Structure 1
Amino acid sequence: MLLAVDAGNTNVVFAVHDGAEWRGRWRIATDPQRTSDEYAVWLLTLMQHAGLRPADITRCVIGTVVPAALYNLRRLSRDWFGAEPLVARSTLDWGFHIDVERPQEVGADRLLNALAAHHHYSGPLIVIDFGTATTFDVVAADGAYLGGVIAPGINLSIEALHRAAARLPRIGIGRPQSAIGRDTVAAMQSGIFWGYVGLIEGIVSRIRGEAELPGMKVIATGGLAPLLAEGTTMISRVDQDITLEGLRLLAGRNPAPISQKDMM
C-alpha cells in the first residue's frame, strides 16, 4: 500500500491507498518541530482504527511546501514504515512539461494538482486551491503546466482584518444572505465571501483571455472550495482529493528511491 503525505502550511494530510481506493485520510496541524516519533504515535493509532498495520505500507510519497517539515517526515517513513520516501520535486518524471522560467520554484502542491487534474479531467484547465494561499494554476490541453496566480488565502485575509483594525472581530467564513451587511459581522462576511467570488471570477476571466485555450474547465480544491463554488458558476467541479491523487499518480510514474541501507 502507498502512504501519501501532503504537508501544507496549515495542515499535514496522511492518506493510505491500497491500489484500488483510499483506505483512510487523517490530518494534523503543521509543526516543523514535530518529531517523527510524535507523528508515528498519532498516525499508527489512527491507522489501527482503520484496520491498517505499518507492515501494510510498502511505499511512501511526500509533497511539501514546508521544507523544515521534510526531515521528520522522511524519518517517519524510514524508521516506522521501512520505506525510502519519494519526495515531489520538479526534477521527477511528471509526464508533462513545466513551462515556466524557474520550475524549481513551483510549489509541489501546484504541480501535483496539475498532474491529477489533467489525468482525471483532461483538456485545458484552471485549478484553484483554497489553502493558506489561494492559487490558480493553468494546465494546457496536453498537460503542460503554464504557470498561474498566487493570492492571499481567505483565512489570512480574515486574520489580517481582525489584527489590523481594532474594532473588527474575528469572524468565520460563510455565505451571507445579502451583499449589504446590516451589522459589522455581516458586512465583513459579505466582503470576504463576495470579495473572493469576485477574485475567482476576475482572475479566471483574465486567465482565459490571456491563455486563449478554448473550453477551459475550472477545478477547485481545498476546504473552502464547496462553499465558494456556491457563489459562482465559473467552477466546473470541486475535487477535495486532487492533491492526494497527484501524489498517487506521481508515485506510479517514478521508481521508489534507493535507501542508504540498500546501497551499502
Structure 2
Amino acid sequence: MNLALDFGNTFTKAGLFKGDELIEVIKVMELSEIDKVIADFHPEHVIVSSVSKSIEDIQQKLNGIPTTILRPDLPLPFKIGYKTPQTLGLDRIAAVAGAQGAFPESNCLVIDAGTCFTYDFIDRQATYHGGCISPGISLRFKALHNFTANLPLIEFEKDVPLVGQSTKESIQSGVINGAIAEIREIIRMYSDKFGHLQIIICGGDAEFFENKLKASIFVAPELVLRGLNRILLYNA
C-alpha cells in the first residue's frame, strides 16, 4: 500500500494506492490527523508534496516509513524543458505526471482550477514545456475587495448573470464569466499552436467549469494524487 500526501495551499489530501489503483481519498485538515491515517492503513511507502507544511514536521509523523519527498530534482517520468525547474510548483509537477500517465501519447494541457489557475503543457514526446499562472476564483473576489475602497467581498455562486444589474451581480459576472472566457481562450491559443490537445482539468473548482467550456474536457479531481503515486512508483 502506497500513501500519497498532498499538502496544498488550501487543503491537504491523502490518497491510498495499491499499485497504480487509487483505493481511497481522505481529506486531512491537520498534520495531527496523519497519525490516524498511518494507523488505519499501514502504508509501506509514502510520497509527500508540501507547499504549506514543514517537511521535517511531516516526516516526524511518518514513524520511519520509507518516504519520497517530491522536489524538482527528483527523477520524473517525463523530461522538463522549464527554464527554472527549481522554481516549478510541486503541484504542477504532480498534475503533469498524472496527465502524462493517463494520456502517454498525447499533447496534454493540464488546467488546475484551485487557489490559482495553472495551465501546464506536456507534449506527446513526454517533454514538459511550462505554462501560465493566474488568480483563481477566490483570489479574484478578494482582490476586488481588498484593493478598492467600496467593492464588497462577494462569495462564489454557480449561477451568475452575464449582465450584472447590481454591484454584487456585476462582480460575480466579471469574475466568473471572465474566468470562463480566460480558460476558453487559453485552450484556443494552445490548440492553435500545438494542434489536437487532451485537456485535463483538476482542482477544487474543476467540476464547475466542466460544463462551462465548449472544448472536450476530462475532469480528474484526484490528478495530483495520481501523479504523486506515479512518481513514487517511478522511483521505486
Q: TM-score, normalised by structure 1?
A: 0.81
Q: Distance in 2 between matches of 1:55 and 1:119?
A: 25
In structure 1, how many angstroms separate the alpha carbons of the residues matched to 2:143 and 2:54? Answer: 25
In the alignment, which of 93, 106, 112 is matched to residue 111 of structure 1? 93
Aligned mates of 1:104, 1:17 — CA distance in 2 = 28
Shift in CA distance, 4/155, structure 1 to aligned 2, threshold 3 Å: same
Name 1:227's counterpart in structure 2: 208
Residue pairs, 1:179-258, within 5 angstroms: 179-209=162-192, 212-234=193-215, 236-255=217-236
CA deviation after TM superposition for structure 1 residue 54, in Å: 5.2
Q: Is the 8 A contact 1:44 1:53 kept in 2?
A: yes
SS for the counterpart of 2:54 is: helix
Q: CA deviation at 1:126?
A: 0.5
- Residues 220 and 239 in structure 1, CA contact (< 8 A), matched pair in contact too: yes
Asked if 1:27 is matched to 2:8, the reply is no
Aligned residue pair count: 234
Aligned mates of 1:70, 1:43 — CA distance in 2: 13
Which stretch shows the higher mean deviation, 141-150 or 169-178?
169-178
Matched, 1:43 2:34: yes
Give the match for residue 3 of structure 1: 3
Residues 127 and 218, structure 1, Cα contact 8 Å, conserved in 2: yes
Structure with greater proportional strand content: 2
2:79 aligned partner, one-letter code: H
Q: CA deviation at 1:11?
A: 1.9
Structure with the larger RCO, 1 or 2 (CA within 8 Å, 6+ apart): 2
Q: Secondary structure at the match of 2:92?
A: helix
Contact 2:6 2:12 in 1 (8 A): yes
| Aligned pairs (5 A) from 1:88-127 | 88-122=70-104, 123-127=106-110
1:132 and 1:153 in contact (8 A); partners too: yes
Corresponding residue of 1:70: 55
Q: Gaps spanning 5+ residues in structure 2: where?
A: none
TM-score, normalization by structure 2: 0.90
The correspondence for 2:132, drawn from 144, 149, 168, is 149
1:206–1:55 distance in 2 versus 1, CA, 3 Å:
closer
Report the more deviating stretch, 176-185 or 135-144. 176-185
The one-letter code sitting in structure 1 at the alignment partner of 2:82 is: V
Equivalent position amino acid for 1:133 in 2: C
Question: What one-letter code is carried by the residue in structure 1 that aligns with 2:177?
Answer: W
AA in 1 matched with 2:207: P
Deviations 1:17-57 (A, max 9, x none): 2334322311326xxxxxxxxx23x2344x4xxxx735721
